[in-house]
Structure 1
Amino acid sequence: MSYKSILLNLGIDGPIEPLALVGIDLARRFDARLIGFCAADAPLPVTMAPEGAAIAAELWEQSRDEIRQRLKDLRGKFENLVAGAVETDWRGAVESPDAAMARSSRLADLIVTGAAQGASTGDSYRAADPGSLVLRAGRPVLVVANGSASLPTGRVVVAWKDTREARRAVADAVPLMAMASEVTIAAVDRNPDDWIRDGVKDVARFLDGHGIKARTEILKSDDEGNRLVDFLASVRAELVVSGAYGHSRLREWVFGGVTRSLLDEVWLNRLMSS
């Protein structure tokens, strides 16, 4: 069980080096092909006067030409950073980052991205929305800690909840957890019962079948998100594995509380599946 194709989502406004170094390192570890990806578009200028339509269209095309040049420059920087260390490919697009990313996810076993603003959308013309990425890609998404140029995987915590999303995340993260020196399965509940305890034990048994030894931790709290984050800090977690929960409201993604809490903790490396 491994990742053989990694899609690296690079922001058009850079810098790309820290995230690119993470992608290169992962591609080396798994002998995977690394696909550099970047997409952006320009909003069509709004004009009320008919005579302004031609000028608006010209300005719009100029902005898109600037994006095309930026994509060309980023491709060159990406290829220079890789310098033949791993097999690579490149995908650049002048279109909505969300749409382009969702389509390109079919190429990959794993998507690697940053999310400097956490769960916030930011400029949807210049960056893929983390909600769209995690909840629409159909692939595990590794959200790298802000500014990090490496991915330590010594201490991994599974944020367990007995849901389809969490089960998917555990299976998707097996290749990374196989590299860990310490794996903890943590569940938070206000009134932990035997159902929850049996659940974490079953996850530990599943991982054991893949040669991964894990301990279990039941955390009692009414505030699931904050208690989990506190626990992650206390054990100095280097990667957290979780399901992602949310739904679309018009063009915005509305997250469940724990998913938002984890996305907003930009110091964490987070592998999420939905």
Structure 2
Amino acid sequence: MSYRTILLNLDIDRPVKPITNAAVDLASQVGARVIGLCAAQPLHSPFAMQATSSAATIAIQQMYRELEDRMEQVHQEFRAAAAGRVELEWRAEMSAPTEAIVEAARAADLIFMTAAEGAHSGDSYRTADPAGVTLRAGRPVLVAGSAAEPIASGKIVVCWKDTREARRAVADAIPLLSLAKDVTVVSVSSEPDTLLRKSNADVVSYLTHHNVRARSHISKSADETIGLLQFVDQSGADLIVSGAYGHSRLRELVFGGITRFLLDESGRNRFMSS
């Protein structure tokens, strides 16, 4: 697998240059083009929605004009930050950001976004929700740390558990893993056994045959999530690769422990597939 197109989400209220630089830097390394996407929609009050006066109509039109003006500003900043470095495409959508990303994901190999506020980020009218994107887009999602610096890939930790989501994440991350100097496949169990060690060894072998330098690490811990997080903290990893485990229940997204942590840990670079 290779990344030929990266979909970059640009939240309308956040700085454009840092996340653009990070995405373009990655695209340059893997030979991909970048689709810049900015989406937002006006927040209509119940009173404005029901009003029929010319004043209400003018107010709503003004909200749309302000969004259009800001989107064009984001567009120009995106173009300026990426100028001449990779092939670019621009998309602006008057719709909820999460919905716009999920729809546009069909045109990309990888979604690149940031989430300074954690799993469920702020105003759904103006800010994309990384949790919803990860579970719904059908594409791997790279959530940059809040600093949105270029993605260093010298050291990568793969959080391994023999599930469909983790298998998908390992396969989806190969273009990034191929750039790394140090890849550790880590599993945690209260009682590590032969099956767990064989599982880890198979993943290392799989990556080796994709020209990825990888090694296995088995940690013993009574609590799988705590043990995994302790290893991640001590590893100094530039990027964490993990399956995203979750489902929707009564319109609430419910996640496993490590997935919740990675979505909420805004200081880290996280790569997730579901």
Same fold (TM over 0.5): yes
Deviation at 1:109, TM superposition (A): 0.6
Residue 31 in 1 paired to residue 31 in 2? yes
User: What per-residue deviation string (whole Å, max 9, x for no partner) do you get for residues 161-214 of structure 1?
Assistant: 111010000000011111111110001122222221111111011001111121
Matching residue's letter, 2:164 = R
Work out whether 1:79 is the aligned partner of 2:74: no
Aligned letter for 1:254? Answer: V
The 5 A counterparts of 1:125-136 are 125-136=125-136
CA contact (8 A) 1:139 1:273 kept: yes
Aligned to 1:166: 166
Does the alignment pair 1:19 with 2:19? yes
Instruction: For residues 71-107 of structure 1, give each alpha carbon's deviation from its aligned partner in whole angstroms, at most 9, with x where no partner exists.
Output: 1110001001111211000111011111111100011
CA 1:53–1:218: 2 relative to 1, 3 Å: farther
Q: Name the amino acid aligned to 2:257.
A: G
Cα RMSD over matched residues? 1.7
Deviation at 1:226, TM superposition (A): 2.9
State how 1:16-165 maps to structure 2 within 5 Å: 16-47=16-47, 55-165=55-165
TM-score between the two structures when normalised by the length of structure 1: 0.95
Moved more, 100-109 or 247-256: 247-256
Q: Secondary structure at the match of 1:47?
A: helix
**Alignment of 1:253 onto 2:244:** no
Q: CA deviation at 1:138?
A: 0.5
The corresponding residue for 1:204 is 204
CA deviation after TM superposition for structure 1 residue 120, in Å = 2.5
Q: Label 1:7 to 1:89 Cα distance change in 2 as closer, same or farther (>3 A).
A: same
Aligned length: 274
Residue in structure 2 matched with residue 216 of structure 1 by the alignment? 216
Work out whether residues 116 and 146 of structure 1, in 8 Å CA contact, stay in contact via their aligned partners in 2: yes
**Structure 1 residues 3, 47: CA separation in 2 closer, same or farther (over 3 Å shift)?**
same
Q: Which residue of 2 aligns with 1:187?
A: 187
Q: Hey, what's the Cα distance between the residues in 2 that align with 1:205 and 1:49?
A: 59
Deviation by residue 1:134-169 (Cα, 9 ceiling, x = unmatched): 011100100111113211000011000111010000
Deviation at 1:55, TM superposition (A): 4.2
User: Following the alignment from structure 2 to structure 1, what is the Cα–Cα distance between the partners of residues 255 and 159?
Assistant: 16
Structure 1 residues 218-247: Cα deviation after superposition (integer angstroms, max 9, x where no partner)? 112233333222211211011111000111
Q: 1:45 to 1:179 in 2, by over 3 A?
A: same
Query: Aligned partners of 2:118, 2:250: CA distance in 1, in Å?
Result: 20
Q: Deviations over 1:105-138 (max 9, x none)?
A: 0110111000111113311111111111101110
| Contact 1:243–1:273 under 8 Å retained in 2 | yes
**What is the aligned-residue identity percentage?**
47
CA contact (8 A) 1:44 1:57 kept: no
Unaligned runs of 5+ in 1: none
Distance 2:245 2:74 in 1: 33
Supply the distance in 2 between the matched residues of 1:234 and 1:51 (Cα, whole angstroms). Answer: 57
**Conserved 8 A contact 2:131-2:263:** no
Q: 1:253 deviation in Å?
A: 1.9
Alpha-carbon contact 1:17-1:149 (below 8 Å) kept: no
Question: Whole-Å Cα distance in 1 between the matches of residues 89 and 48 of structure 2?
Answer: 43
- Asked whether the 8 Å contact 1:229–1:262 carries over to 2, the reply is no
